[in-house]
Amino acid sequence: MSMHLHRSNQTKVLRSAAVSRCKYCGVPVEWFDRHDGMRIPLTCEFPTRCIPARMRWHVDRGVAYPGHDTSSQYCRIPHPAVCPATDHPDLPPPLQDVVRRLAIRMRTGIDNGTFIPPPVETETETDAESPGPDQVQHVRHVINCHGSLRIGPGPIEELQCIARDSHTEQRCENGICDLTEGRWELTSINPDHATGRQGQQILDLTGGSIWAWHLTDFTVVRRWWAQRCHAHFGTDEPDHVANEFVPFHPLRHDAHVLTQRPDGYDLPGVSDGRHDIRCGPEERVKCATPTCSNSTVTSPHKGWLCWQCEKLQQRRERTHRRWNQLLPDDQPG
């Protein structure tokens, strides 16, 4: 028996080859090619009236698009938005019930031995030094390197030098942020990178511009691009970890687009009326975790945790809450 794709289909992926299960909860999902060339796991169809507009997706000729199809009363949801293996504090009541049912199904599969969740991640040295896409925090600042936009793993004041310290043979504890070397400016988004309906939504939301940290000098751009502190820039010391900057793309990094100028980066000005921007406090505040060497130039609250330790703490708290909620009484009768 031979199978053929319809000539109007925009994707070459067979539905039978695109069905899988979430490795975190075991729920069946369908993978679809997105309008921007990426892929997305979607759930089955739900009534559109019960789904928030920001979570609605529809499939047209095998390709997934954000929003709902006006000719249908049903839409699909990205599976990560309702995956019971993570927390969803802002879901409406109908979707909270869906997540609860999926959580019971996941727990039943674990108890019956039909589903084995992935091992609990530990904070290894590699994880701590080279954050992956699930480890980076919500606040990520974009820097403008003479027209090339790069996005880091966190705010600019928490960017850490990646060079190897010759004395400790560990990663340098210095930051790379120097507030005298740049300023916040509105930067245009390349319209060629914001294609499709999602790209048009981003352009409409931002007016085609975002706030980025603009570097003023070519030598400064080279230092930030290399992610080196002043002491290690231009030296022969090797990198202890890989560079953490990645090219900014409005579709992949839409959650980190800044539409308002960040506050707290301008210090009181001098008598001539202009701002005297300095490099911050002389001593950096270290993370409250004893074994962590990350630090910040801001003045955080007592017991401040860096984004890596905070992510680990939140993961542990979510796991604790999740297993407390999935009690035997919640099992279906």
Output the pLDDT for position 139: 80
Predicted structure pTM score: 0.43
Output the pLDDT for position 274: 43
287: tokens are 């993370």
Phi, psi of 47 (to 5 degrees): -60, 130
pLDDT digits (tens, 9 = 90+) for 247-262: 888 877 877 888 888 8
CB distance 212 to 143 below 8 Å: yes
Query: How far are the Cα atoms of 119, 151, 207, 220, 277 from residue 264, in angstroms, in the given order?
Result: 40, 20, 24, 21, 11
The domain spans of the chain are 15-116, 125-303
User: What residue has token string 């309906």?
Assistant: 197
**Averaged pLDDT score across all residues of the chain:** 77
pLDDT digits (tens, 9 = 90+) for 132-183: 434 434 688 999 988 888 998 888 888 899 999 888 888 888 889 888 888 8
Output the pLDDT for position 20: 83
Give 316: exposed, middle or buried? Use CB within 10 Å, 0-12, 13-18, 19+.
Answer: exposed
Q: How far is Cα 33 from Cα 64, in angstroms, rounded to an integer?
A: 6
Output the pLDDT for position 273: 43
| Beta pairing class for 39-42 and 28-34 | antiparallel
285: tokens are 């505040």
pLDDT band with cut points at 50, 70 and 90 for residue 196:
low
Q: How far is Cα 216 from Cα 183, in angstroms, rounded to an integer?
A: 8
Output the pLDDT for position 52: 85
Query: How far are the Cα atoms of 184, 187, 191, 253, 254 from residue 249, in angstroms, in the given order?
Result: 19, 13, 11, 6, 8
pLDDT band with cut points at 50, 70 and 90 for residue 19:
confident
pLDDT more than 90, % of the chain: 5
Q: Is the pLDDT of residue 317 over 60?
A: yes
Output the pLDDT for position 13: 60
CB distance 144 to 162 below 8 Å: no
